[in-house]
Chain A
């Protein structure tokens, strides 16, 4: 490198510090705005804990067909309808609810008083759960039924049922420690009792959920032959794009499909916040594009001003590649510097909004997205600059 010091000094003749400073300043601002937008979007769409997916990260809806009057025939989605939903731009993933096709009775002892109730259970594929309890599996050899219930049920019990009945109010931890006996009775007369426990509370699924493997096994054993398509598709859980909520709602309302719960307000705020984040990112991209244009122009002017000198260096015997590399290293260093400053600035900005988002249960965004965006910027910008430099210098050597 020392050997090339003279060549480097010569080739840096005519570099305009003012132009380079302009590029660095403009690009730092542009990239910092982009990264801030990326981080903000990521924080607004990711919860800070594993169990809470309220507000903006609420990307799931549960849908079922409207029932008029009393319906005895199965009310279910056909395969075509499910496929059509999956094809919609707002639908990211569709899961089917599987329900129990046998009788279920649960009993437990609370404060010395026995409690017994008929019940049902459902399941969806594991990827749709907002929580993943440690004991979430079912092994027929050692049968134990883990149950997840809606957080709303616990509230209903504590504040709607336990108080007027004089029963104790229970926390999530206490509920989990209560042993429950579940007796399954099939239409084929088969009956068996299993140990069960509530292992978690979901704010996403408004049902009594058990592992898919248990439903499959129990339906097969206690209601053989009854696992029809209709039973599998009466309710669907759909992971949606919150930015397209209005399209989704219009789709379902025109098809007489009901969306469980009222999440419209959340979705609107979520949509607004995300639109803001996208607008910020887009502005940053425009600033970056302009800054990029400044650098391209600077390189072009520099190479033009140094044209005779570059030609003479090549005629001395220096390889065009070696000459190009000196300029390529320069722009790569500048772009790395721009990336580092902009990333630092955007992470500093993130620390300003993070406490507020944490208090709303959000702010679990991944900074690797921003680091990835920075790396992509450095790579793309340097690659384009390199191409320009090589093309110009190669033209001088021919």
Chain B
């Protein structure tokens, strides 16, 4: 279990040389000596496009390592983790819904979800069907993702992100293409899932926020 994620003097390398700028000086994350996300938190990271929201989530989830500073999981530097460690963390401890969704276009909606669930056995087929129904895409379950709209794809990706146990779930602009009803339903499902295990929810937004109740907004 990961209880605490800490960043120390974290800065994407692409921002090197911009340390004196206002945006970095005002950031609550970049270059802070001790920025911490606790298990059970509800955080919305709001910032303009290009300020590094996706980069932050990629760094924490081990997708990228082009940063200065350190990221620690319960005090352990993640730069020391190997491929097997990351596989285990991504299967049981960290869930990430990336902005680009990373679905497999040739597979159907249900197959995309099953591909994750086959790793974790976290949800039954019935539970997956219920989630598809709640987000209004049950009729698209057997449609290849390539033939679905971006909004529908976003909902498939949300369900897939919930098909695993996690200590933290990271959602990168998860509802950018969703209407308010689906936004609210998605937020409810994510909150239910996180609350059941005491997990933290970290969502990013450029203005179209995931409607999480009682979330803290952090400026990047």
| Residues on A facing B (Cβ under 8 Å) | 3-4, 6-7, 10, 13, 309, 312-320, 394, 397-398
Please report B residues at the A interface, Cβ cutoff 8 Å. Answer: 61, 63, 83-84, 86-88, 90-91, 96, 102, 104, 106-107, 111, 114-116, 118-120, 164
B118 touches A317 (CB 8 A): no
Query: Which residues on A sit within 8 Å (CB–CB) of B114?
Result: 6
Say yes or no: B118 contacts A319, CB within 8 Å: no
10 A-B Cβ contacts within 8 A? A6-B115, A312-B102, A312-B104, A314-B87, A315-B63, A315-B96, A316-B116, A317-B90, A319-B84, A397-B86
B111:A6 contact, CB within 8 angstroms: yes
What is the minimal beta-carbon distance from A16 to any residue of chain B, in angstroms? 16
Residue in B84, B111, B118, B164 whose beta carbon sits within 8 Å of that of A3 in the complex: B118
Complex: A213 Cα to B86 Cα, angstroms: 72
**Of A309, A313, A317, which contacts B91 at CB under 8 A?**
A317
Whether the pair A10, B115 counts as a contact (CB closer than 8 A) is yes
Report the separation of the CA atoms of residues A397 and B87 in the bound assembly, to the nearest whole angstrom.
Answer: 10
**Of the residues A6, A312, A313, A319, contact of B83 by C-beta under 8 Å:** A319
B106 touches A318 (CB 8 A): no
Contacts of A3 in B (CB 8 A): 118
Known: A317-B87, A394-B83. 19 other contacts (CB 8 A): A3-B118, A6-B114, A7-B115, A10-B104, A10-B107, A309-B104, A312-B102, A314-B87, A315-B61, A315-B90, A316-B116, A317-B90, A317-B116, A317-B119, A318-B119, A319-B83, A319-B84, A320-B83, A397-B83
- Which one of A309, A317, A319 contacts B164 once the chains associate, using CB atoms below 8 Å? A317
Instruction: Return the chain A residue nearest B91 by Cβ.
Output: A317
Shortest Cβ distance from B102 into A: residue: A312
* Given A4-B118, A318-B119, CB of A10 within 8 Å of CB of B83: no
Closest residue of chain B to A322, judged by CB? Answer: B87
B interface majority secondary structure: helix
Report Cα–Cα, A134/B204, bound state, in Å. Answer: 91
Q: Which residue of A lies closest to B107 (CB)?
A: A10
In contact, B102 and A315 (Cβ under 8 angstroms): yes
A6 to B91, CA, bound (A): 17
Nearest-Cβ distance from residue A321 to partner chain B, whole angstroms:
8
Q: Which residue of B lies closest to A394 (CB)?
A: B83
Contact in complex: B90, A316 (CB < 8 Å): yes
> Which residues of chain A are near B120, meaning CB under 8 Å?
317
Contacts of B106 in A (CB 8 A): 10, 13
Q: Which residues on the A side are within 8 Å of B87 (C-beta)? A: 314, 317-320
**Neighbouring A residues of B115 by C-beta, 8 Å:** 6-7, 10, 313, 316
Give the CA-CA distance A394 to B84 in the complex, in Å: 11
B-side contacts of A10, CB under 8 Å: 104, 106-107, 115
Residues from chain B with Cβ under 8 Å of A398 in the complex: 83
Residues of chain B within 8 A of A316, CB atoms compared? 90, 102, 115-116, 119
A70 to chain B, nearest CB (A): 86
What B residues does A318 contact at CB under 8 A?
87, 119
With both chains docked as a complex, state the minimum distance between the C-beta of A398 and any C-beta of chain B, in angstroms. Answer: 7
In the complex, A48 Cα to B125 Cα: how many Å?
67
A217 CA / B86 CA spacing, docked (Å): 77
The CA of A20 and the CA of B115, in the complex, are separated in Å by 27
**Which chain B residues lie closer than 8 Å to A314 at the CB level?**
83, 87
Provide the residues of chain B in CB contact with A319, threshold 8 Å. Answer: 83-84, 87
Q: Which 4 interchain pairs have the tightest Cβ spacing? A: A317-B91, A317-B90, A312-B102, A319-B87
